[in-house]
Amino acid sequence: MEIKNKEITSRDEDFAQWYTDVCKKAELMDYSEVKGFIIYRPYGYAIWEEIQNYLNKEFKKTGHENVYLPLVINESLFNKEKEHVEGFAPETLIATIGGKEELQDRLIIRPTSECLFTNHFSHIIKSYRDLPKLYNQWCSVVRREKTTRPFLRGSEFLWQEGHTMHATPVEAKEETLRMLDIYDKMGRDLLAIPFVKGRKTEKEKFAGAEETYSIEALMHDGKALQSGTTHYFGDGFSKAFGVQYLDKDGALKYPYQTSWGVSTRLIGSIIMVHGDDNGLVLPPYVAPIQVVIIPIQMNKEGVLKKCREIKELLENNGVRVKLDDSDKTPGWKFSEYEMKGIPLRIEIGPKDIEKNHLVIVHRVDRTKEFVEIDDNLVNKIKLEFKEIHEKMYKKALAQLLDSVTEIHSLDELEAALNKGGYAKMMWCGDVDCENKIKELYQATARCIPFDQIPFDDVCPVCGKKAKYVVLFARAY
RNA sequence: CGGGGCGUAGCGUAGCUUGGUAUCGCGUCAGUUUUGGGAACUGAAGGCCGCUGGUUCAAAUCCAGUCGCCCCGACCA
Q: Determine the Cα–Cα distance for residues A50 and A264; give it in Å rounded to an integer.
A: 11
**A92 sits within 7 Å of strand B by its CB:** no
Residue A106 has pLDDT above 90, yes or no: no
Distance A466 CA to B26 C1' (A): 59
Q: What is chain A's mean pLDDT, rounded? A: 93
Please, how many CA atoms are within 13 Å of residue A468, restricted to the half-sphere of its CB? 20
Q: Determine the Cα–Cα distance for residues A341 and A472; give it in Å rounded to an integer.
A: 31
Q: Determine the Cα–Cα distance for residues A372 and A135; give it in Å rounded to an integer.
A: 49
CA A177 to chain centre: 17
The SS3 assignment for A29 reads: strand
The pTM for the full model equals: 0.94
Scanning residues 320 through 339 of protein chain A, those with a beta carbon under 7 Å from any atom of strand B turn out to be: 327-332, 334-336, 338-339
Q: Determine the Cα–Cα distance for residues A53 and A31; give it in Å rounded to an integer.
A: 26
Q: Determine the Cα–Cα distance for residues A235 and A148; give it in Å rounded to an integer.
A: 34
Using only C-alpha atoms, what is the Rg of chain A?
A: 25
Q: Are A271 and A217 in contact (CB under 8 A)?
A: no
The number of beta carbons lying within 10 Å of the beta carbon of residue A274 is 23
pLDDT at A15: 85
Residue A449 has pLDDT above 70, yes or no: yes
Residue A90 has pLDDT above 90, yes or no: no
Q: Determine the Cα–Cα distance for residues A72 and A67; give it in Å rounded to an integer.
A: 15
A122: Cβ–Cβ under 8 A, 6 or more apart, which residues? A241, A242, A243, A244
Scanning residues 249 through 308 of protein chain A, those with a beta carbon under 7 Å from any atom of strand B turn out to be: 263-265, 278, 296-299
pLDDT at A2: 61
* Percent with pLDDT over 70 in chain A: 99
**CB-contacted nucleotides of strand B (7 Å):** 1, 33-39, 68-77
Calculate mean pLDDT across residues A136-144: 93
Residue A164 has pLDDT above 90, yes or no: yes
Q: What is the ipTM of this complex?
A: 0.80
Q: Determine the Cα–Cα distance for residues A248 and A246; give it in Å rounded to an integer.
A: 7
**A351 sits within 7 Å of strand B by its CB:** yes
- Which nt has its C1' nearest the CA of A261? B77
DSSP, res A221: T
Scanning residues 370 through 409 of protein chain A, those with a beta carbon under 7 Å from any atom of strand B turn out to be: none
Looking at residue A453, its amino acid is: I
**A230 sits within 7 Å of strand B by its CB:** no
